[in-house]
């Protein structure tokens, strides 16, 4: 039996003997870039039906078809964790989205703060980065990348029962306290390159669902803070413990 060289996200139902027609981008990637051909194996997932071993049954220049043969993984849901961050420079924003998807979040939410440098995002492009991260890391779930939203509006409409881990750079050097919790619904918030404003910090600290934490003795760059915060939460409260 051939081993799979490629994992591919598709937006079609997956199941036993299900045929999967490929679009032009997928055809180019599989047959021109990865040099696959008839009989080669591809692992497919769609974020809903788990992972399926499939075989190439048609491989033409502009057209291709795969057929599902066997489920290799069931759908593995991440913890009910949202990740809120202020967009920064393009490449570093891409990095944050990729790492959030790899490290296991259910939803990625770009937020507009008072000191956010970027006022626009390409939501569709960031969603592609989340998909590519899931392809690379073996995940079967793809987190949704939400539209850019103002932080004050998100806080005003915060859902009942969800806690927020507020990573405050003003706490650098303080002891980290993130105790075990019976609450399953959480979110993490990291700030922009310029940090949070005094008004934002004051409001966040006043909210009953907010849990303020330090990310260590040094002030971290936003992309470093994203990885650190996710690792801390996953180790303490997520599916790493």
Whether residue 179 is predicted with pLDDT greater than 80 in this model: the reply is no
Structural domain spans, the chain: 6-73, 81-237
Q: What is the mean pLDDT of residues 177-181?
A: 57
pLDDT tens digits, 50-93: 999 999 999 998 999 999 999 999 999 999 999 999 998 889 99
β-pair partners for 43: 7, 53
Report whether 107 contacts 147 (CB < 8 A).
no
Report the largest interatomic distance among the alpha carbons of the chain, rounded to a whole angstrom.
Answer: 61
Domain covering 6-73 assigned CATH 3.40.640.10 in the classification: no
For residue 129, what are the CA distances in angstroms to 13, 100, 143?
A: 21, 10, 10
Number of other residues whose CB lies within 10 A of the CB of residue 153? 10
Q: Exposure of 72 by Cβ count < 10 A (0-12 exposed, 13-18 middle, 19+ buried)?
A: middle
Domain covering 81-237 assigned CATH 3.40.50.300 in the classification: no
Number of other residues whose CB lies within 10 A of the CB of residue 157? 8
What is the edge-to-edge ordering of all strands in the sheet holding 41-45? 6-9, 41-45, 51-59, 64-73, 19-21
pLDDT tens digits, 133-156: 999 999 999 999 999 999 999 999
Whether residue 182 is predicted with pLDDT greater than 70 in this model: the reply is no
Report whether 170 contacts 224 (CB < 8 A).
no
Q: 184: Cβ–Cβ under 8 A, 6 or more apart, which residues?
A: 79, 80
Please state, for a pLDDT cut of 70, what percent of the chain lies above it: 94
Q: String of b and e for 74-98 (b: at least 16 CB within 10 Å)? A: eeeebbebbbbbbbbeeeebbbbbb
| β-pairing verdict for 6-9 and 41-45 | parallel
Structure tokens at 30: 């599989």
Report whether 79 contacts 103 (CB < 8 A).
no
Report whether 110 contacts 148 (CB < 8 A).
yes
Rounded to two decimals, the pTM is 0.90
Report whether 169 contacts 204 (CB < 8 A).
no
Whether residue 222 is predicted with pLDDT greater than 70 in this model: the reply is yes
């Amino acid at each position: 039996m051939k081993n799979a060289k490629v994992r591919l996200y598709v937006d079609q139902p997956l199941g036993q003997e299900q045929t999967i027609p490929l679009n032009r981008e997928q055809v180019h990637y599989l047959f021109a870039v990865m040099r696959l051909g008839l009989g080669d194996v591809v692992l497919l997932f769609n974020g809903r039906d788990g992972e399926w071993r499939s075989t190439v049954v048609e491989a033409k220049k502009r057209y291709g078809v795969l057929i599902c043969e066997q489920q290799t993984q069931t759908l593995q849901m991440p913890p009910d964790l949202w990740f809120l961050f202020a967009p920064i420079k393009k490449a570093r924003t891409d990095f944050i989205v990729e790492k959030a998807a790899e490290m296991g979040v259910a939803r990625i939410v770009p937020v507009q703060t008072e000191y956010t440098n970027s006022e626009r995002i390409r939501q569709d492009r960031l969603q592609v980065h989340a998909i590519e991260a899931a392809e690379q890391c073996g995940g079967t779930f793809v987190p949704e990348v939400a539209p850019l939203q103002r932080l004050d509006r998100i806080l005003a409409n915060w859902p009942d029962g969800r806690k927020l881990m507020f990573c405050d750079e003003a706490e650098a050097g303080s002891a980290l306290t993130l105790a075990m919790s019976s609450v399953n619904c959480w979110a993490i918030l990291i700030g922009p390159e310029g940090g949070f404003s005094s008004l934002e910090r004051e409001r966040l600290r006043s909210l009953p669902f907010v849990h303020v934490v330090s990310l260590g003795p040094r002030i971290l760059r936003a992309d470093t803070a994203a990885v650190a915060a996710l690792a801390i939460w996953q180790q303490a409260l997520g599916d790493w413990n």
